[in-house]
């Protein structure tokens, strides 16, 4: 049934809305705080960050952010300002009402005219003495938005209706008290009343509705004017991925791009799976191979190569790497070696995570323990573990109810209690930022208290169930079991999303570690399928990579069609991506034939094998490797910059590599001079090395024409080869992965 508002609410509405008095319920209860008043304060922004919800409130009046602390808010309204803020004896003189109505100076402006229905509810509540909602009253279970999903024509409108669902099975229409926002207001905007207005361009947006601490999302899709119901010729559904992607493309009227050439697929797979360019021999062999399954065989081969472990471990060290200035170089090296060994073994991901979360021992001997060396407080470990392994960002919940999630401060500190019994022995106890050895162990005692109430928090998961914990047991064992449980869908989803993003240049959810109702996936069924495939495959990362690379979606061209050129999230084409800093540096070394040297690493080491970011490299800094001075040094910049372009054009180190006497340019020039190679063969070799493809006839002709021009000027073959190298290294085709 539809739950009615209290009689005073209806009475106030009856004065404003003709016929409303006929719906007046028989109950005689006044409005109550949690049920009726807090939604009004939230709806009108009174407890938002810019107003009274900020840390110290506004002009002496403080409310908890988004009404997360009802006791505090009620006391602030009725127990402060000497009764002037809410006066039951003379409601109209209450500051709460006068300032809201604008009859008294108010920094927030006029929020509620006296003839507004919400004002009348507030007035009735104040007049009744500010009653609280009884504990026995139905609790808010969830909200839903109608429609749940909508396709709109450009510039069309759609009203939304929000319904609150209560624990007793009743429902209430709360659209007027809900807050609305759009993820892409250019595509589809929403006004405060819940009216969605589509923009002129095709695309999609997520409209978020919030009522108290509950959320609901309505995806709005605006298809292309001419719907592309038939996929482009050449499309074939190799597996379930392709069917789910094509369903979404057809719904949006997007036409997929064509299939990538063998050369493009070869270079892409090499860079995605092992972070290394294919050699000319590998390119030539792949191009002449006529077998129909050569692409799947290529993926299988790449997954067995040693570079795979180094490349993918390099990605995970970004996420797990501690600050080297805090934990010491030896601990960092030990941690890195442990992570790389996990990928060499192809350790199931759930076991990998469990070993980290439950690790014990010396930071100089047991690499996984370094996870607890840099992050020491339960609150720090909670936010890090949840973001990494569950895709839940809980930082906000440390101080107040999460503004975009259902998690409260109590939820956060109950979860943090799992990390309350971590013992430490060694130099880190007295000097946590020193580089000495430390032993991580299970302490016999430890607790976490709520920062406001002081209540002792018992370990509890955010959702679902975790195993019971014996008094003398390691609490982290229970936490790890809950995190890695097959029933914990976030665990498989966030990793599936990470792997998809690495291979497809964009996650189904962005950012990749921010899974929440208010940040919905661009293709929910696809993410569910990948997560289930990963789970059913025993959390084998290689199996997941193989499954994605086998899809036709992975093999699409990066060149956009006219129909899909605006698409940047539905995978109608393969999105170009700048190469990772270490991959790019290794590629430069491979093309020039001059290896890089790294501090603290043996000769011949590659950048993807680097176990720390604490060594000098202008190239890696320019192309966005993590900054060792950050805490932790995990942020990697992926965008292109002017500094990067200037570095490729002017770097003394690159000039040295190209002009090196023992380098490839000199060797190729000598081969031309001695007749061992023809100029066109040199052009072909350089294109195969840099781009993973043979040059086009026009490209070969242009390069040979340049040789003739330089020869007439008296320059030698070596200058020509070096010029070609400079040109190839400074091209977008080299710097980006198609």
- 380 with 478, same domain: the answer is yes
For residue 90, give its domain range. 7-127
123 with 148, same domain? no
Q: Per the structure, how many domains does the chain have?
A: 4
* CA–CA gap between residue 521 and residue 311 (Å, rounded): 27
pLDDT of residue 396: 78
- Answer left, alpha or beta for residue 469, where phi above 0 means left and psi between -120 and 50 means alpha: beta
- Measured in whole angstroms, the distance separating CA 718 from the mean position of its chain's CA atoms is 47
pLDDT for 228 equals 47
Looking at the structure, tell me whether residues 57 and 163 fall in a common domain.
no
Last residue of a domain, one of 92, 127, 162: 127
- Structure tokens given for 318: 């970004």
Q: Are residues 120 and 172 in the same domain?
A: no
Looking at residue 10, its pLDDT comes to 37
Query: What digits encode the pLDDT tens for the residues 484-515?
Result: 999 999 999 999 999 999 999 999 999 999 99
- How far is the C-alpha of 25 from the C-alpha of 35, rounded, in Å? 17
CA–CA separation, 191 vs 124, rounded Å? Answer: 28
* DSSP codes, 139-159: PEEEEEEESSSEE--TT-EEE
Confidence at residue 712, expressed as pLDDT on a 0 to 100 scale = 81
- H-only helix segments in 27-116: 38-43, 70-78, 95-101
R_g over Cα of the chain: 31
* Closest CA relative to residue 427, chosen from 363, 471, 491, 380: 363
Show the low-confidence residues of the chain (pLDDT under 70): 1-28, 226-234, 400-405, 428-434, 631-633
**122 closest CA partner among 143, 147, 142, 99:** 99
Cα 684 to chain centroid, rounded:
41
Instruction: Note whether 148 and 122 are same-domain residues.
Output: no
**Does any domain span residue 393?**
yes
Please tell me the distance from the alpha carbon of residue 110 to that of residue 92, in angstroms, as a whole number: 15
The C-alpha torsion from 406 through 148 and 196 to 47, rounded to 10°, is -20
Any domain includes 433: yes
Residue with tokens 């895709």: 391
Using the 3D structure, point to which of 94, 127, 160 is the last residue of a domain.
127
Check residue 554 and give its pLDDT: 98
Q: Is residue 463 part of a domain?
A: yes
Tell me if 101 sits within 8 A of 118, measured CB to CB. Answer: no
106 and 180 housed in the same domain:
no
Domain boundary (196, 222, 248) is at 222
Are residue 162 and residue 39 in the same domain, yes or no? no
Query: Does residue 441 belong to any structural domain of this protein?
Result: yes
Which one, of 698, 731, 705, 735, lies nearest residue 720 by Cα? 705
Q: What's residue 428's pLDDT? A: 59
Q: Does residue 270 fall inside a structural domain?
A: no
For residues 729 and 593, membership in a common domain is answered with yes
In a domain, 380, yes or no: yes
336's tokens: 């890195």
Tens-place pLDDT, residues 618-632: 999 999 988 877 766
Domain identity same for 656 and 722: yes
- Cα–Cα distances in Å, from 631 out to 197, 370, 383, 428, 637? 43, 14, 14, 17, 15
Q: Identify the DSSP state of 2.
A: B
Task: State the distance between the two ends of the chain, measured CA to CA, in whole angstroms.
Answer: 56
pLDDT of 27 reads: 38
- CATH code, domain carrying 213: 2.60.40.1080
Question: Is the same domain home to 217 and 103?
Answer: no
The strand pair at 195-198 and 157-159 is best described as: antiparallel
User: Within this chain, do residues 149 and 106 fall inside the same structural domain, yes or no?
Assistant: no
The alpha carbon dihedral of 328, 333, 338, 343 has a sign of positive
Asked whether residue 229 is domain-assigned, the answer is no
Determine which helix (DSSP H) or strand (DSSP E) holds 218, and give its type and residue range.
strand 214-222
Residue 90 and residue 170 in one domain: no
pLDDT computed for residue 18 by the predictor: 38
Establish if 342 belongs to a structural domain.
no
Which residues fall within 8 angstroms of residue 300, CB to CB, at 6 or more apart? 546
Can you give 398-461 as a three-state secondary structure string? HCCCCCCCCCCHHHHHHHHHHHCCEEEEEHHHCCCCCCCCEEEEECCCCCCECCCCCCECCCCC
Percent of the chain that is helix, strand, coil (3-state, to 5): 45, 10, 45
* Torsion sign, CA atoms 198, 200, 206, 207: negative
What is the Cα–Cα distance from 189 to 72, expressed in whole angstroms?
35
């Amino acid at each position: 049934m539809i739950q009615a508002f209290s009689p005073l609410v209806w009475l106030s509405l009856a004065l404003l809305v003709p016929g409303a008095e006929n719906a007046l319920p028989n109950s005689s209860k006044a409005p109550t705080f949690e049920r009726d008043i807090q939604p009004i304060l939230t709806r009108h922004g009174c407890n938002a960050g810019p107003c009274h919800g900020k840390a110290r409130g506004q002009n002496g009046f403080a409310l908890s952010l988004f009404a997360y602390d009802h006791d505090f808010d009620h006391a602030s309204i009725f127990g402060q300002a000497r009764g002037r803020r809410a006066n039951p004896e003379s409601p109209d003189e209450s500051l709460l009402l006068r300032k809201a109505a604008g009859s008294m100076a108010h920094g927030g402006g006029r929020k509620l005219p006296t003839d507004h229905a919400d004002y009348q509810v507030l007035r009735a509540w104040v007049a009744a003495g500010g009653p609280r909602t009884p504990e026995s009253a139905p609790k808010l279970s969830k909200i839903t938005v109608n429609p749940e999903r909508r396709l709109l024509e450009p510039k069309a409108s759609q009203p939304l209706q929000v319904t609150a669902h209560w624990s007793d099975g009743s429902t209430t229409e709360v659209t007027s008290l809900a807050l609305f926002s759009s993820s892409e207001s250019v595509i589809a905007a929403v006004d405060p009343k819940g009216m969605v207005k589509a923009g002129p361009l095709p695309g999609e947006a997520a409209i978020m509705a919030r009522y108290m601490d509950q959320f609901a999302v309505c995806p709005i899709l605006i298809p292309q004017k001419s719907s592309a119901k038939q996929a482009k010729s050449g499309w074939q559904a190799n597996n379930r991925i392709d069917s789910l992607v094509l369903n979404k493309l057809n719904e949006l009227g997007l036409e997929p791009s064509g299939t990538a050439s063998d050369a493009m697929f070869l270079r892409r797979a090499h860079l995605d799976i092992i972070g290394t360019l294919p050699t000319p021999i590998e390119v030539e062999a792949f191009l002449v191979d006529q077998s129909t399954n050569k692409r799947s065989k290529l993926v299988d081969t790449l997954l067995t190569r040693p570079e795979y472990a180094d490349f993918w471990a390099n990605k995970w060290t970004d996420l797990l790497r501690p600050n080297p200035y805090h934990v010491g170089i030896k601990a960092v090296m030990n941690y890195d070696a442990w992570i790389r060994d996990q990928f060499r073994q192809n350790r199931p991901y759930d076991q990998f995570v469990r070993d980290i979360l439950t690790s014990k021992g010396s930071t100089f001997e047991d690499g996984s323990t370094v996870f607890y060396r840099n992050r020491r407080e339960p609150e720090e470990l909670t936010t890090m573990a949840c973001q990494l392994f569950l895709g839940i960002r809980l930082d906000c919940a440390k101080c107040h109810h999460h503004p975009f999630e259902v998690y409260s401060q109590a939820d956060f500190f109950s979860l943090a209690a799992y990390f309350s019994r971590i013992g430490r022995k060694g130099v880190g106890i007295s000097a946590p930022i020193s580089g000495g050895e430390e032993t991580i162990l299970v302490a016999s005692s430890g607790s976490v208290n709520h920062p406001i109430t002081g209540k002792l928090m018992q370990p509890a998961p955010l959702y679902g169930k975790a195993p019971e914990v014996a008094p003398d047991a390691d609490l982290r064992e229970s936490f790890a079991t809950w995190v890695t449980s097959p029933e914990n869908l976030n665990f498989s989803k966030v990793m599936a999303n990470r792997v998809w993003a690495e291979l497809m240049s964009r996650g189904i959810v962005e950012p990749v570690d921010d899974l929440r109702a208010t940040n919905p996936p661009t293709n929910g069924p696809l993410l569910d399928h990948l997560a289930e495939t990963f789970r059913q495959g025993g959390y084998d990362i290689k199996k997941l990579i193989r499954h994605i690379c086998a899809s036709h979606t992975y093999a699409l061209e990066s060149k956009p069609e006219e129909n899909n050129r605006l698409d940047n999230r539905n995978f109608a084409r393969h999105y170009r991506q700048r190469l990772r800093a270490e991959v790019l540096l290794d590629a430069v070394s491979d093309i020039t034939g001059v290896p890089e040297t790294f501090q603290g690493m043996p000769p011949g080491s590659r950048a993807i094998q680097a176990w720390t970011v604490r060594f000098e490299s202008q190239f890696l800094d320019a192309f966005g490797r993590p900054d060792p001075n950050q805490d932790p040094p995990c942020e990697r910049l992926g965008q292109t910059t002017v500094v990067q372009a200037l570095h490729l054009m002017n770097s003394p180190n690159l000039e040295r590599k190209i002009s090196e006497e023992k380098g490839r340019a000199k060797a190729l020039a000598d081969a031309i001079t001695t007749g061992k190679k023809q100029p066109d063969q040199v052009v072909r070799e350089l294109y195969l090395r840099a781009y993973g493809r043979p040059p086009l006839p026009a490209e070969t002709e242009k390069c040979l024409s340049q040789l003739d021009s330089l020869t007439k000027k008296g320059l030698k073959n070596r200058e020509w080869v070096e010029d070609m190298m400079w040109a190839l290294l400074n091209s977008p085709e080299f710097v980006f992965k198609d």
